[in-house]
Amino acid sequence: MATSSFETLLVTTEGAIATVTINREAARNALSSKVLAELAACAAELEVSPEIRVVVVTGAGDKAFVAGADIAEMAELSSPAAAAFAEMGGSVGEAIEHSTRPWIAMVQGFALGGGCELAMACDFIYASERAKFGQPEVTLGVIPGFGGTQRLARRVGVAKAKELCMTGDIIDAAEALRLGLCDAVVPHDELRAKVMAVAGRIAKNAPLAVAEVKRLVHRGQSATLEHALALEQAAFGLLFSTADQREGMAAFLSKPRREPAFKGR
């Protein structure tokens, strides 16, 4: 297991899986400008690391994934400074969403405000039965600023997103699962095993193909079906120029059948 060093993040790797832990347990892992800057830098580093195929993001301790943006830092911001802070948070979400690596949010506790927004930027959200989700910004006189009004609507529907963002209600993991805000809920002590099992299955697959699945699903949401299908067909053909396609099909056809050894080429 290797470790990269940041002031507010703990980054560990196990094989092809990187785990990024927001390491501010005393502040319930709140997203300060320092955390956001380091998350952006970390995402950029992981994106060019040939060894990393899946990224897991979580928070330190058992109580909070991320309890929100850092209110102590935000309280005295000017309007332009607040807009810049929102842009920082938005850029982190975009980096995760546009990454060629799948990102999995491992939510073991509170995922509120910026924490819920960080989780929603990921490809999957797996939650402990103890997890809580919400966008309570209106109770502070503001609105979600890191993509919450938009990604929440895409996950749970327009009316429910408006309800959650307008009331500031906090919901439990079971309700989040029912609404589609998270993708699985497991007993607290089994969360890491669940996340790593899924990450491991993805990491075994052809990374170029996995990246194309992510890109096409995201692109297709804002395209007509006809255009999205054309993108898929072009990507399907392009992958036949890769060494991974040749390896995957050769492994399938070998007798006895063997496990493919994908190289991301």
Active centre residues (catalytic): 117, 137
d(CA 120, CA 116): 6
CA distances from 175 to 131, 132, 172, 184 (A): 10, 9, 6, 11
β-strand partners of 56: 19, 104
DSSP letter at 60?
Answer: S
Residue 65: how many other CB atoms lie within 10 Å = 30
Question: For the chain, what's the residue count?
Answer: 265
CA 72 from chain center: how many Å? 25
Q: What are the residues whose beta carbons fall under 8 Å from the beta carbon of 210, sequence distance 6 or more?
A: 53, 102, 202
d(CA 34, CA 80): 18
d(CA 204, CA 217): 20
d(CA 161, CA 158): 5
Establish how many alpha carbons lie within 13 A of residue 244's alpha carbon, considering only the half-sphere containing its beta carbon: 15
- For 190-221, the DSSP string reads GHHHHHHHHHHHHHTS-HHHHHHHHHHHHHHH
**Which residue intervals of the chain are DSSP H helices?**
33-47, 71-74, 79-98, 114-121, 148-156, 158-167, 173-179, 191-203, 207-221, 225-238, 243-253
